[in-house]
Amino acid sequence: MLKKMHLKRVGPAPQLDVEFTDRLNIFTGDNGLGKTFLLDIIWCSLTGTWADNPAWPQLTEETPQISGSFNNQTNGETKTFHSYFDFEQQQWRDLSFPALLNSLVIYVRVDGGFCVFDPARSLSTAYHFSHYTLWNGLKDNNDKVLSNGLIQDWVKWQNQPDKTTFQLLSRVIKQLSPHPNESIEPGEPIRISVEDVRDIPTIKMPYGTVPIIHTSAGMKRILGLAYLLVWTWYEHLQASKLRKKPPVEQITLLMDEVESHLHPQWQRSILPAVLEVAAGLQQQIKIQAFATTHSPLVLASLEPIFNEEIDRLFLFELQRQQVTLNEFPWTKQGDTVGWLTSEIFGLKQARSQQAEITIEAAEAWMRHDNMNAFPEHLRTPAQIQLELERLLPGHDPFWPRWIVKTEAHRT
């Protein structure tokens, strides 16, 4: 498991030090502060490859560095890694020791792509899927088939006499569904085009059966994730069997913007479901997850399962024009509004910006503050009243305070 990470003169911060925990490490913070960047660095440190473009160093006199430590779950041995950027050769040196990791590494990217590192298949190569290759198949530079793709594998597993793998896929899809009583159920494959000779998998929706290539972006993300998890584990078992080695005892999962493309119903269940799915692939398997999110619903969904001994919440912030990353104390907020107005997201109110400013003006007037700091249309009780009527619903909890105060002022 990855234990520590130290970055110097690489990324948005001059220096970053973070100590990870054993199960769930979740990162939040404003856009542009380095959440995806950190996942890319973690992926590279564990696999020795880059998921996309290599991290670019800051152009300073100091040598940019990436270092850290991880421990081998099999023998408990701790290993450190250290990489530095060679400006003359324009590349990072001595990236990592993935052979010692003994873990499957899965990176769910925000652009719809996936990356997989499987030590049973290769210690020097990772598999990088775009949305297209995930669904239609992946080959290497020598035209060797690395993956049949979601469409072909789904139909193959569904038509096999031994339906064990298809049953696993169906179970994973069900676990990732947002409604326990309305789970996604695979249908029978069908031919849908005179030009594409493949049979296309389908899912059963309340309004009918739908070919998976015609489902929504959010549904495709869920189906792609379900397939990728099952495919990774299935191929790992096949490779381990051929090498006459036991399967790994750990999965390292990286997931960028957990909520991407997902309706709030899905946001409220997806991350606990993914952890449950990964842990259910094999008895006693260990899961270390690194996830980023902007969603208060995702954080609210973790309240029933968050364990401060094995889980941590981290916050990226911009302080005095410098990016910082610190562990943030976990505190249950009770609901999504509580998360929105917590220090994690920093919103004063869970309303529109206009409503927030209007209520601040109303409160300032009730305190007899100087109103010149507010826009000209929010400096008198009558003006504020008009804006409140325009912006707030009749049941808004602010109304009683305002009405009582204005009535008292009239009398």
> Given this model, what pLDDT does residue 347 score?
87
Q: State whether residue 319 is helix, strand or coil.
A: strand
CATH 3.30.230 holds for 1-119+283-348: no
8 A C-beta contact, residue 362 and residue 374: no
| 168 Cβ contact list (under 8 Å, min separation 6) | 230, 233, 234
39: pLDDT strictly greater than 90: yes
54: pLDDT strictly greater than 80: yes
Q: What is the pLDDT of residues 86-138, one digit of tens each?
A: 898 888 888 655 555 788 999 999 988 999 999 999 877 899 999 999 999 99
Dihedral sign of CA atoms 129, 131, 135, 140 in order: negative
| Most confident of the following: 90-94, 199-203, 338-342 | 199-203
8 A C-beta contact, residue 166 and residue 160: yes
Query: For residues 4 and 306, what is the distance between their CA atoms, to the nearest angstrom?
Result: 21
> Given this model, what pLDDT does residue 1 score?
86
Element (H, E) at 298: helix 296-301
> Given this model, what pLDDT does residue 96 score?
59
DSSP code, position 321: T
Q: How confident is the model at residue 320 (pLDDT cuts 50, 70, 90)?
A: confident
For residues 326-339, give the mean pLDDT. Answer: 92
Query: For residues 249 and 252, what is the distance between their CA atoms, to the nearest angstrom?
Result: 10
Domain boundaries, the chain: 1-119+283-348, 124-247, 353-410
Three-state SS string across 198-220, please? CCECEEEECCEEEEHHHCCHHHH
| 384 Cβ contact list (under 8 Å, min separation 6) | 358, 361, 362, 365, 378
Please identify which residue in the block is written with the tokens 């997931």. Answer: 255
Write the Ramachandran bin of 351: left for phi over 0, alpha for psi from -120 to 50, otherwise beta: beta
Q: What is the pLDDT of residues 359-397, one digit of tens each?
A: 999 999 999 999 999 999 999 999 999 999 999 999 999
pTM of the model: 0.91
Sheet holding 91-93, edge to edge: 15-19, 2-8, 65-71, 78-86, 91-93
> Given this model, what pLDDT does residue 169 score?
95
